[in-house]
Structure 1
Amino acid sequence: MKTNKITRRSFLLGLGAVSAAAVLTACGSSSSNAASGAASGSTASAGGDTVYRTLDEIKADGTVNIGVFSDKNPFGYVDENGEYQGYDVYFANRLGEDLGVEVNFVSTEAANRIEYLQTGKVDIILANFTVTPERAEEVDFALPYMNVALGVISPDSNVITSLDNWNADDQMIVISGTTAETYLVKNYPDIPLQKYDSYATAKNALENGNGVAWANDNTEVIAFAKQNPGYTVGIPSLGSQDTIAPAVSKGNTTLLDWINDEIKSLAEEQFFHKDYEETLVDTYGMDYEDELVVEGGVTNA
C-alpha cells in the first residue's frame, strides 16, 4: 500500500508555513480542533506546543504523512513522471507497507523539518536528517540508518582543500537549517556564509559562481560531483562523523517505538543495503556501501 505520485494534497502540504495553534480538550490529551495543516485527532504533547498523531491514530486514518526532500537526488527527489524516488523514499514506502497504510509524501526543506513535525504537518521526517544534540531537544530521533559527515565541494578551477586562511572576500554556500551552517558558524565564524533555503537554489548558486565553495553533507556533495563534471570534493570529511535517522514529534513514543522495532527487524533482510543498491549504487558505486549504510541501528563507532 504505497503511492509515489505527487497529489494535490501533498503539493499543498509542501507549501508555506502552517499555523501552530491547537485547541486542546480539558484533559489535554487530544486536540478537538487540530492546528491548521495538522491531521484531525492529533494528540498534544505534555508541553502543549507540539501536536502529533499516535501510531493507532495513523493506522485508523489509513495514511501516514512523511516529509522528504523533492529536489535532492539520489536521496529524495521527484522524477520526470512526478514520482518520488530515492534512498529515503524507498525506506518511506516500506514503512507505509509494514504499517498497512498509504504514504502521503510531503515535500520539505532543511529549515522546516522540525516545524513540520511540531505542527503535525508530517508524522515522520525522512529527509537526510542528521542527529545532533540540539535537534534532539526538539524532536525524537529513531535509530540511525545511514552514516554521514560534512564535505566541501568547489569548481575544478579553484579546488578548496582547507578552510584555514580563508579569504575574507570569498563566500561559502550553505543551506539554512543544516549541520553545515551550524558547524561553520561555530568553528569558522570569519567565513562569510551565503545561505539558501533549498538544495536546488544552493546548487544553482554554485553553478553560477555566487560562492567559491559549497558545504553540505558529504554524501550530497560527493553525489553532486559525480553527477556534474567540473567540480571536486576537495574536503570529503569535515567535523565529526554523524548519523542520519528518522525523526518524530517530541513525545510520540508509540510511533517512535514502532519505527525502532521496524529498523531492527529490517536488518534481518539487510534492507538498507538493498535500498543502497536500488537507489544509490549508480551514484556512489559499491565502494561506499558499507561505509554509508547502517543496518539495525548499529553503527561502527
Structure 2
Amino acid sequence: MRLKNLARRVLLLATLSTACLAAHADTLDTIRANKKIRVSIDLAVPPSGMTDANMKPTGSDYDVAVLLAKDLGVALEVVPTVGATRIPNLQTGKADIIISTLAWTPERAKVVDYSIPYAPQISLVGGVKGLNVKSFADLAGKSVAVNRSTTQDKDLTDNAKGATVVRYDDDAGVITAVVTGQADLVGTSSALFKTMQEKAPQRQLEQKFVLRVNDLGIGVRKDDPKLLAWINDWVRANHKNGKLSAIFKKYHGQDIPQDVVEKWLAAK
C-alpha cells in the first residue's frame, strides 16, 4: 500500500514538473495565444522611460517595447517597475520580458538571460563644479547618491572605499536629491545626469568620471530559449535596418555607434 502511494506521489510530481516546464518553455506561444506581451519598464528613468504631459508612457525603452510588440503581432502591456523590482517582476510571472535599462552584470546573468544588446548606456559619477573628483579614490569621505540595486550602486559599493553610498528607491528620488541640493555627487547614467543638469542649471553640475559603458539587453526568464531566440533575431534585424538606432537618437541625441553595433552582432 505504501509503495502504491509513493508511486502515485512520484507520478504526480513528475506530471506537475513536466507541465510546469512545458508552460515555462512555451512563453512565446503563450504570448501569441494571449495576443499580449507584458513588458517591465521603469517610467521614471528619462529619457529611457518616462511619462508625457498626458501621463502616457514614452521614452526610448517604451518605443523599443512598442516596436517589438508590433512586430510580434500582439498588444503591449506595460508593467511599471523601479530598478530593484525589474527582475522580481520577471521571476514571479508579472512580466514576460524586461526592457528597462537592464545592464549586463555577472550576478544578473545568473538569474536572467539577456538578449543581444539593443542600446548602450554610459554610467558615470557627476557632481557640482568645484568638487575635485576624478576617480574612486577621490570619493573617500564624501557621500554619493545612487538608485538602489543598479550597476552604479554596485560599482561604487565595490570600489569607492571610504565613501558613503546614499541609496534611493528609484531614479526620481535620486534626481530630486541632486536637483534640490540634498546630494552634491551622484552615480547615474549619462542620460539621467543630463536631465539633472537641465532641471538645475544653477547647481553647475558636471561629469567627474566614467564608471562604465553598459550593454543594455532585453531580460528573459532563464531556460526560455524559444522566446530568447525570437528576441535575438528581432534585435539583429532592427539593428541592421536602423530602427533601434533611430529610437536611440530620438531620445538620446545620437546614433548608436556602428562599431558598437557590429561588436554586438559579432558576439552572438
Same fold (TM over 0.5): yes
Within the alignment, does 1:204 sit opposite 2:171 as a pair? no
2:247 to 263, 266, 275: 275
Give 3-state SS (helix, strand or coil) of 1:215's partner: strand
AA at the equivalent of 2:15: A
- Whether the aligned pair in 2 keeps the contact of 1:270 and 1:295 (CA below 8 Å) is no
1:43 match: 23
Q: Check 1:289–1:255 CA distance in 2 against 1; reply closer, same or farther (3 A cut).
A: closer
Counterpart position of 2:31: 58
Look up the match of 2:7. none
**Alpha-carbon contact 1:150-1:237 (below 8 Å) kept:** yes
Residues 110 and 198 of structure 1 are in contact (CA less than 8 Å); yes or no, is this contact kept in structure 2? yes
Equivalent residue in structure 1 for 2:150, among 175, 178, 195: 178
Match of 1:67 among 40, 43, 55: 40
CA RMSD of aligned residues (A): 2.7
Percentage of pairs with the same residue: 26
Q: Which is greater in Rg?
A: 2
Q: Deviations over 1:164-184 (max 9, x none)?
A: 24352x311011110011111
| Superposition deviation, residue 55 in structure 1 | 0.3
Task: State the shift of 1:295 in Å.
Answer: 6.8
CA shift at 1:293, angstroms?
7.0
Residue pairs, 1:13-162, within 5 angstroms: 26-30=15-19, 43-44=23-24, 54-156=27-129, 158=131, 160-162=133-135
Deviation (angstroms), 1:278: 2.6
What amino acid maps onto 1:290 in structure 2?
P
Q: Which runs of 4+ in 1 moved over 4 A?
A: none
State whether structure 2 residue 235 is matched by structure 1 residue 246: no
Q: Secondary structure at the match of 2:213?
A: strand
CA distance in 2, matches of 1:55, 1:292: 31
Partner of residue 10, structure 1: none
Once the two structures are TM-superposed, the CA of residue 236 in structure 1 deviates from its matched residue by: 4.3
Aligned to 2:161: 189
Distance in 1 (CA, whole Å) between partners of 2:261 and 2:181 is: 35
1:173-222 Cα offsets, whole Å, 9 max, x none, are: 01111001111111123211110010111111112332220101233323
Match of 1:214 in 2: 186
How many Å apart are 1:150 and its aligned residue?
Answer: 2.0
Higher helix share: 2
The letter of the residue matching 1:43 is A
Q: Give the 3 Å change call, closer, same or farther, for CA 146–206 of structure 1 in structure 2.
A: same
Distance in 2 of aligned mates of 1:248 and 1:136 = 10
Bigger RCO (CA 8 Å, 6+ sep): 2
| Distance in 2 (alpha carbons) for counterparts of 1:299 and 1:203 | 36
Distance 1:268 1:294 in 2: 9
State which of 262, 265, 268 in structure 2 corresponds to 1:298: 265
CA shift, 1:297, in A, is: 3.8
1:232 matched to 2:205? The reply is: yes
TM-score in terms of structure 1 length? 0.76
Q: Is the 8 A contact 1:218 1:236 kept in 2?
A: no
Give SS of 1:298's match: helix
CA distance in 2, matches of 1:271, 1:241: 21
Residue 231 (structure 2) aligns with: 259
**Is the 8 Å Cα contact of residues 191 and 252 (structure 2) preserved in structure 1?**
no
Deviation digits for residues 22-47 of structure 1 (CA, Å, limit 9, x no counterpart): xx88331445xxxxxxxxx99347xx
Using the alignment, how far apart are the partners of 1:243 and 1:290 within structure 2?
Answer: 13
Number of paired residues? 254
Q: Which amino acid in 2 is paired with 1:298?
A: L
Q: Take 2:65 and 2:75, find their aligned partners in 1: how far apart are those partners? A: 10
